[in-house]
Structure 1
């Protein structure tokens, strides 16, 4: 079984000009990019960092960053 995956788009992204975030597993890491600026590159996380980020997001640790 391959540990690789294709790019997936956030379910929160919209098709009408909204924010578009894509992520994939590649070479044992998690890559994240802006689908509208792919040439800008990716942000890369270890699986441990990604798990920690998701855990914190689910617990609301980043809610203060949301727009009013």
Structure 2
């Protein structure tokens, strides 16, 4: 899959370590959000609907995944 048309964004909290994921959106495709590993920009890219990403972000805000980071 070509990712040339995707504008990528990385969380500012990731700092300069590069240990983060990036989310992206493509021009003309308002229904899909892409996710990739910022350390492997040529690696696999996952596709999610905007509602799936919204559900994940809501869960993250509610600390539902905190136990996975310890």
Query: Under a length normalisation based on structure 1, what TM-score does the superposition of the two structures give?
Result: 0.77
In structure 1, how many angstroms separate the alpha carbons of the residues matched to 2:41 and 2:20?
11
State the 4+ residue runs in structure 1 displaced beyond 6 angstroms. none
- In structure 1, stretches of 5+ residues that fail to align are none
Query: Under a length normalisation based on structure 2, what TM-score does the superposition of the two structures give?
Result: 0.75
Counterpart of 1:42?
45
The alignment of Structure 1 onto Structure 2 pairs a total of residues equal to 63
Change beyond 3 A, Cα 1:14–1:55: same
Counterpart of 1:22?
22
Q: How does 1:1-12 map to 2 (within 5 A)?
A: 6-12=7-13
Deviation of the 1:21 alpha carbon = 1.6
RMSD: 1.8
Contact 2:18 2:38 in 1 (8 A): no
